[in-house]
Structure 1
Amino acid sequence: MTRQEPIAAVAERYPHLTQQDAEVAVKLILDAVAAAISTGAGVEIRGFGTFKLKEVGARTGRNPKTGEAVAVPATVKTYFKAGKELREGVGR
Structure 2
Amino acid sequence: MRKPELASAIAEQTELTREKASEVITAFTDQISAAAARGEDVSLIGFGTFGVRSREARSGRNPQTGAAIQIPASRSVGFKAGKSLKDAIR
Give the Cα–Cα distance (whole angstroms) in 2 for the partners of residues 67 and 22 of structure 1.
49
Aligned to 2:60: 61
**2:14 maps to amino acid:** Y
Q: Which moved more, 1:51-60 or 1:64-73?
A: 64-73
How big is the shift at 1:74?
Answer: 0.5
**2:82 maps to amino acid:** G
Give the Cα–Cα distance (whole angstroms) in 1 for the partners of residues 44 and 84 of structure 2.
11
Q: Given the alignment of the two structures, is residue 3 of structure 1 paired with residue 8 of structure 2, yes or no?
A: no
Q: Given the alignment of the two structures, is residue 14 of structure 1 paired with residue 14 of structure 2, yes or no?
A: yes
Q: Which runs of 5 or more structure 1 residues have no equivalent in the other structure? A: none
Superposed CA RMSD = 1.2
How big is the shift at 1:85?
Answer: 1.0
**2:76 maps to amino acid:** K
Q: Given the alignment of the two structures, is residue 23 of structure 1 paired with residue 17 of structure 2, yes or no?
A: no
Give the Cα–Cα distance (whole angstroms) in 2 for the partners of residues 85 and 77 of structure 1.
24
Indicate the percent of aligned positions where both proteins have the same amino acid: 39
User: Displaced runs of 4+ in structure 1, greater than 2 A?
Assistant: 64-67
Give the Cα–Cα distance (whole angstroms) in 2 for the partners of residues 19 and 68 of structure 1.
52
Give the Cα–Cα distance (whole angstroms) in 1 for the partners of residues 54 and 18 of structure 2.
39
TM-score, reference length from structure 2: 0.90
How big is the shift at 1:67?
Answer: 2.3
TM-score, reference length from structure 1: 0.88
**1:27 maps to amino acid:** T
Give the Cα–Cα distance (whole angstroms) in 2 for the partners of residues 21 and 12 of structure 1.
12
